[in-house]
Amino acid sequence: MEGDLLVYGAYGYTGALITERAVVDGLDPILAGRSAERVEAAATERGCDHRVFSLEHPTVVERRVADVDAVLNCAGPFEDTAEPLIDACLRTGTDYLDLAGNVDVLEATAARDAEATDAGVALVPGVGFDVVPTDCLAAILHGLLPDAEELTIAIDGLRTFSPGTAKSMLRGLDRPGAVRRAGRVETVPVAYKRRTFEFPTGDRTAVTVPWGDVSAAYYSTGISNIEVYAGVPDRAADVMERTRWLVPALAAGPVRRAAEAVAGRVVSGPTADERARSETHIYGEVTDDDGTVARARMRTPDTYDLTAATAVEAARRVLAGVAGDGFQTPASAFGPEFAEAFEGVDREVLTEPERVVQ
């Protein structure tokens, strides 16, 4: 491998899985984070170098990343961590990757494309389960129907969460929903739409969610209308629709901070056995203005195991110069087939482009 990789947030649940995968794959990452005790413990366990720094002081962050070739940011919520690390990377010529799946964060990163291109820096967010498989499936569908104007993605199997994921979900309560219409991101209510999708495990009710592909898939495909759904029990969908009015109260600072603190204490993340039994199913469809539709679906292993694999491989490829300068999505940086390079991922085209008669 060419170059040095710094993993920021290496001691969180997901960061630890990524660090373990990187070491097993023969990489020698520098582990970093703001907690000296936790960084040192992780580095000692893995036999890695380490650095301790917070993101509060820009000059400190710059010094800590200036002599590495790429930073992989695993420290959420990414609303807090992405901007200061990207700022430092742009000033020091350091490539940047992260696990962000938040629409706002991805949009903010995309807006820095020109800066990154001028600086000769690759910005590749979303290199975990959010958004590698869904982004790649969207790009594959776009290849089947290049004139597609609408993209729908549905995900079933999101049932395990790490502390960081739980906190990010709570942080997003004040952004209840998002879709893309005519090329622009629009905020919509919680469970804005409900649909039934046919997954390999059976029919599943799903509601719209602000998944990262509302942003990422647009840049990968140019499709201007995008909705993403997540499978939920019917009763949960009913509750979400009936309690939309509670969202502003739940998103209030004191309530949210208290909930984040509780999540940090009681959510531990899935065990290795739970991850081994977990899999996720993704459905995708694209439609053009003439009513022609193409459909495909993808199966993946556990979201956290896949994240560790995709993040490490994405970092390896960025260090090898595979990704160009500027903002890129996983699919645009590494190709639509990227997700299928990993064990346990398979794809099936359900419908080649065909005209649907209304």
Asked if residue 86 lies in contact with residue 113, where contact means CB atoms within 8 angstroms, the answer is no
At 334 the pLDDT is: 99
For residue 45, what are the contacts with CB-CB under 8 A and spacing of at least 6? none
Asked if residue 155 lies in contact with residue 228, where contact means CB atoms within 8 angstroms, the answer is yes
CA angle 321, 326, 327 (to 5 degrees): 110
At 3 the pLDDT is: 76
At 259 the pLDDT is: 42
Tell the CATH topology of 132-303+340-355.
Dihydrodipicolinate Reductase; domain 2 (3.30.360)
pTM of the model: 0.90
Q: Residues for the chain: how many in total?
A: 358
* CA-based nearest residue to 270, from 163, 167, 116: 163
Amino acid, res. 113: D
CA angle 144, 307, 149 (to 5 degrees): 25
CATH 3.30.360.10 intervals, the chain: 132-303+340-355
Asked if residue 333 lies in contact with residue 317, where contact means CB atoms within 8 angstroms, the answer is yes
Residue found under tokens 């419908």: 351
At 256 the pLDDT is: 45
Predicted confidence pLDDT, tens digits, the chain (358 residues): 457 999 999 999 999 999 999 999 999 999 999 999 999 999 999 999 999 999 999 999 999 999 999 999 999 999 999 999 999 999 999 999 999 999 999 999 999 999 999 999 999 999 999 999 999 999 999 999 999 999 999 999 876 544 545 444 444 455 579 999 999 999 998 888 999 999 998 999 999 999 999 999 999 999 999 999 999 877 766 666 666 655 555 555 554 454 445 444 545 578 888 888 889 999 999 999 999 999 999 999 999 999 999 999 999 999 999 999 999 999 999 999 999 999 999 999 998 887 765 5
Question: From the centroid of its chain, how far is CA 105?
Answer: 10
At 131 the pLDDT is: 95
Tell the CATH topology of 5-129+305-335.
Rossmann fold (3.40.50)
What the block records as the tokens of 268 is: 């531990």
At 354 the pLDDT is: 73
Using a 10 angstrom Cβ sphere, with 0-12 exposed, 13-18 middle and 19 or more buried, the burial of residue 211 is buried
At 54 the pLDDT is: 98
H or E stretch at 59: helix 58-65
Asked if residue 176 lies in contact with residue 135, where contact means CB atoms within 8 angstroms, the answer is no
CATH 3.40.50.720 intervals, the chain: 5-129+305-335
The values of phi and psi at residue 151, to 5°, are: -130, 130
